[in-house]
Amino acid sequence: VAEAPPVITLESVWNIAHRGASGSAPESTLFAFELGRRMGADFIELDIQMTGDGHLVVLHDDTVDRTTDGQGPLTRYTLKELKRLDAGSWFNRRHPKKAHPSFQHAQVPTLEEVLLSQGRRVRYCLEIKEGSSAPLLERKLLKTLQRYHLLPQKGRPSPVIIHSFSRETLQRIHRQAPEIPLVQLIHYKDAGYISHRELNRIRRYAWGIGFSYKRMDREDVRRARSHGLRIHPYTVNRKRDMRRLLSWGVDAISTNYPERLNKVLKKE
Ligand code: G3P
Ligand code: CA
């Protein structure tokens, strides 16, 4: 007997603040994460990477150039060196209308700093970037989640979900902690028709699938759902795109503007 499709109401669609409220504060900083939560996001999205001396930090790019006043690959930095960088002034220069003097004190946060500052007031969408040190990063991440009591418990909504473009990463995590909901991200370059066979394969370890919203259509939603997968499009900033995706029945939307999405979802 086929399982009944889940009931989706706009209220139940998850609002994921992409790199925090990164349209309004410097991305991936404590400012952006705090603002994301205050704007009513259900989840804050964090890209997890490792410094040269093995600390888990939150940074999107694999170099520090774009979002700090430093230069070079993250892996060339110790945590101490990274902490000296200014991770907010670039935002003030680039967005003078949204600038705030306090942003110039923003740092690249460690994962633990984010968890300590937000606690259980928000849920966490953790993205593991592809990289050669992924297995070590994954083990450290699972230990941290355990230490902060963030591993899912039966019968309760999971405080974390993990996104990754890397199938190997998701499969390794699934073997170690099968209770964590995992989302297989599909690179926008690979988007397009995904076969039933491939969706079936993804379903063996993942609980959802994330497409670039620009490279998906109603049919992708229908097919992924027919395999029991949730659908998490990224990164949607315009109201008209949000409305279109909601009309197709997606389960979550990742956005730089969580307050805008909540207006569309009427969660305010
Ligand atoms: O949630 C998926 C999204 O975050 C992937 O894109 O490049 O912003 O990490 P990116
Ligand atoms: Ca991400």
pTM above 0.90, yes or no: yes
Would you say residue 253 has pLDDT above 90?
Answer: yes
Residues 6+ apart with CB under 8 A from 132: none
Q: Would you state the CATH architecture of domain 13-62+111-265? A: Alpha-Beta Barrel (3.20)
3-state SS string for 53-97: CCCEEECCCCECCCCCCCCCEHHHCCHHHHHCCCCCHHHHHHCHH
Confidence of residue 100 (pLDDT cuts 50, 70, 90): very high
| Index of the ligand 1 atom closest to the CA of residue 129 | 9
Residue nearest to atom 2 of ligand 1 (CA): 234
Residue 149 known to be catalytic: no
Mean pLDDT confidence for 140-145: 98
Task: Report ipTM for this prediction.
Answer: 0.98
What pLDDT sits at residue 1?
46
Indicate if the pLDDT at residue 11 is higher than 90: no
What is residue 266's predicted lDDT score, i.e. its pLDDT?
87
Closest residue by Cα to atom 10, ligand 1, is 60
